[in-house]
């Protein structure tokens, strides 16, 4: 570790060779080492806490648990022990279409006298009014700071339900101790949620859920957090005779999580925290895992071949499945490649999504990636990003609005790929944008890659840009 700057009273520490001569991105002096121009050798400073006052695009630990990991699990009631604002934030960003979300709506009085009683009553009320598969209770900054112990409250609710022989006494009530300040980024929240959900595995027999016995072709997909994407990967595997027991958590139910231990293979699609989950499954339930990327045609082909080999699937069936999708998408792929070749792209996402997207965008669509910004990435992620990116491209670690704006003005991309948080900024700058998370479509899988190319093409060629520029 090397101290490289002293900006006023903020000491900035970098663990890599920062590039203080970078001219492309304007910003605070203590952020210089986080914004670099790629020379295929230098890495940006990373894995640090966001400085107060820095309008970073990162999310909090609670968001990582509730929104990213848990929001797609079906028929669960989420109870957020917080003022209404945390619940609103978590609802607005990724609307919860599969379950209800409640908050204890902590007020000043609760902050002074404690909110445990309120939480206790709220859980009992949910048990009385609804019949969910599970109740997920979340700690937030406020409830953690006043010392409310959500795990202890959950324990006493369970005791009461058992004592009363309540009809809901056996439903899982899980306490997620994920106060927003607990980690540097939302990634800590992913880990907290994964660890808690892991407790559900092996709590039911497969036969009680599927009415069939385990097969040698049962797998889980880990780390795809979108129902559409999960179903599209599942559809491809079904063509090869493979059954997906659980897509964790993009298309998960409580019951599907319970039987994950029956899989013969786990396929990790994305995220550092998913590898941690896969490692836990390997250690405890002896389910091996591989890491795959289903973004891009070539990556899909590679993934099917590898999985086919591991599960000993007839090679002809694997080849036929691949051929089917290649033929189906050939013409459209060629069209979009011709249209998009040479267009400039700026990607702003979590590290794994940025990495997954970069290769196929550059190799299969022959577009030029002129910049990558990531909300949370570590040294290993940046080593890969730096190697793949062309020289002169901009890299920003944990970007704030000012830095993004200055980078975009400098490199003027034809398309900006990010999530919904940065949409307004790029629209104001008159730059075409698509949401790389694909909230209303699918970018994963063979057909998904064509959807992606089509959306990028549509955004770039929208007539609106002629009016706003
Ligand atoms: S948990 Fe904390 S950081 Fe997260 S939304 Fe609530 S107050 Fe904000």
Co-location of 9 and 100 in the same domain: no
Co-location of 48 and 68 in the same domain: no
> Which residue's CA is the closest to the ligand 1 atom numbered 3?
180
Mutate to test the pocket of ligand 1, among 56, 180, 181, 186 (most ligand atoms within 8 A of CB): 180
Co-location of 158 and 88 in the same domain: yes
Co-location of 94 and 160 in the same domain: yes
In this prediction, residue 226 carries a pLDDT of: 87
Rg over alpha carbons for the chain, rounded to the nearest Å, is 23
In this prediction, residue 455 carries a pLDDT of: 98
3-state secondary structure 336-379: HHHHHCCCEEEEEECHHHHHHHHHHHHHCCCCEEEEEEECCCCH
Co-location of 233 and 311 in the same domain: yes
**Do the domain assignments include residue 468?**
no
Co-location of 176 and 72 in the same domain: yes
**Do the domain assignments include residue 449?**
no
Name beta bridge partners: 81.
139
Query: Which residues, at least 6 apart from 302, have a Cβ–Cβ distance to it below 8 Å?
Result: 292
**Do the domain assignments include residue 460?**
no
Question: Count of domains in the chain?
Answer: 3
CA 33 from chain center: how many Å? 26
pTM for the predicted model, two decimal places? 0.90
CB distance 67 to ligand 1 below 6 Å: no
**Do the domain assignments include residue 235?**
yes
**Do the domain assignments include residue 231?**
yes
**Do the domain assignments include residue 24?**
yes
Mutate to test the pocket of ligand 1, among 68, 82, 140 (most ligand atoms within 8 A of CB): 140
Co-location of 51 and 82 in the same domain: no
Co-location of 172 and 217 in the same domain: no
Compute the Cα dihedral for 346, 349, 350, 353 and give only its sign. negative
In this prediction, residue 19 carries a pLDDT of: 42
Cα(419)–Cα(404) distance, integer angstroms: 14
Q: Could you tell me the two tokens for 105? A: 């709506």
Please give the distance, rounded to the nearest whole angstrom, from the Cα atom of residue 194 to the centre of ligand 1. Answer: 19
Q: Which of 112, 117, 120, 121 is nearest to 142 (CA)?
A: 112
| pLDDT tens digits in sequence order for the chain, 469 residues long | 333 333 333 333 333 334 444 556 667 788 889 999 999 899 999 999 888 888 888 889 999 999 989 988 999 999 999 999 998 876 655 555 667 899 999 999 999 999 999 999 999 999 999 989 999 999 999 999 999 999 999 999 999 999 999 999 999 999 999 999 999 989 999 999 999 999 999 998 888 877 788 899 999 999 998 889 999 999 999 999 999 999 999 999 999 999 999 999 999 987 678 999 999 999 999 999 999 999 999 999 999 999 999 999 999 999 999 999 999 999 999 999 999 999 999 999 999 999 999 999 999 999 999 999 999 899 999 999 999 999 999 999 999 998 999 999 999 999 999 988 888 899 999 999 999 988 889 999 999 999 999 999 999 999 998 887 6
Neighbours of 73 (CB within 10 A): 25
Co-location of 354 and 369 in the same domain: yes
> Which residue's CA is the closest to the ligand 1 atom numbered 7?
141
Co-location of 93 and 140 in the same domain: yes
Cα(99)–Cα(277) distance, integer angstroms: 24
In this prediction, residue 391 carries a pLDDT of: 94
Co-location of 241 and 305 in the same domain: yes
CB distance 144 to ligand 1 below 6 Å: no
Q: Could you tell me the two tokens for 6? A: 């002293």
**Do the domain assignments include residue 469?**
no
The whole domain housing 143 covers 61-182
CATH of the domain at 150: 3.40.50.1980
Co-location of 236 and 300 in the same domain: yes
Query: Which residues, at least 6 apart from 440, have a Cβ–Cβ distance to it below 8 Å?
Result: none
Q: Could you tell me the two tokens for 180? A: 């927003």
């Amino acid at each position: 570790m090397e101290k490289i700057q002293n900006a006023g009273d903020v000491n900035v520490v970098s663990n890599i060779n920062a590039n203080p001569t970078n001219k492309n991105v304007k910003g605070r002096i203590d952020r210089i080492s986080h914004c670099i121009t790629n020379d295929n050798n230098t890495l940006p400073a990373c894995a640090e806490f966001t400085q107060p006052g820095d309008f970073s695009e990162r999310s909090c630990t609670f968001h990582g648990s509730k929104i990213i990991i848990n929001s797609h699990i079906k028929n669960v009631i989420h109870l957020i022990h917080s003022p209404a604002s945390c619940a609103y934030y978590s609802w607005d960003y990724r609307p919860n279409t599969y379950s209800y979300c409640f908050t204890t709506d902590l007020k000043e009085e609760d902050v002074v006298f404690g909110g445990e009683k309120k939480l206790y009553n709220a859980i009992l009320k949910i048990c009385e009014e609804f019949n969910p598969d599970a109740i997920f209770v979340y700690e937030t900054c406020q409830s953690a700071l006043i010392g409310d112990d959500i795990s202890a409250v959950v324990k006493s609710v369970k005791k009461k339900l058992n004592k009363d022989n309540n009809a809901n006494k056996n439903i899982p009530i899980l306490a997620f101790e994920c106060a927003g300040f607990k980690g540097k980024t939302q990634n800590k929240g992913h880990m907290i949620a994964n660890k808690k959900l892991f407790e559900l595995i092996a709590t039911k027999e497969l036969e009680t859920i599927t009415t069939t016995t385990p097969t040698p072709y049962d797998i889980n997909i880990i780390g795809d957090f979108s129902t559409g994407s999960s179903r599209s990967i599942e559809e491809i595997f079904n063509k090869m005779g493979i059954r997906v027991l659980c897509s964790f958590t993009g298309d998960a139910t409580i019951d599907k999580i319970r039987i994950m231990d029956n899989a013969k293979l786990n396929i990790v699609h994305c995220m550092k925290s998913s590898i941690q989950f896969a490692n836990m499954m390997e250690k405890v339930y002896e389910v091996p895992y591989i890491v795959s990327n289903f973004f891009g045609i070539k990556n899909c082909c590679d993934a099917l071949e590898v999985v086919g080999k591991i599960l000993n699937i007839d090679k002809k069936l694997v080849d036929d499945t691949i051929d089917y999708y290649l033929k189906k998408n050939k013409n459209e792929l060629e069209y979009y490649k011709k249209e998009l070749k040479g267009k400039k792209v700026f990607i702003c996402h979590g590290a794994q999504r940025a990495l997954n997207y970069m290769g196929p965008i550059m190799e299969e669509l022959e577009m030029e990636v002129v910049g990558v910004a990531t909300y949370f990435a570590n040294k290993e992620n940046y080593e890969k990003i730096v190697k793949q990116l062309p020289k002169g491209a901009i890299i920003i670690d944990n970007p704030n609005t000012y830095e993004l704006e200055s980078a975009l003005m400098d490199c003027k991309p034809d398309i900006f790929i990010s999530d919904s948080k940065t949409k307004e900024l790029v629209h104001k700058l008159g730059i075409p944008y698509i949401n790389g998370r694909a909230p209303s479509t699918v970018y994963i899988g063979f057909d998904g890659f064509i959807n992606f190319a089509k959306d990028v093409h549509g955004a770039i060629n929208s007539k609106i840009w002629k009016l706003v520029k």
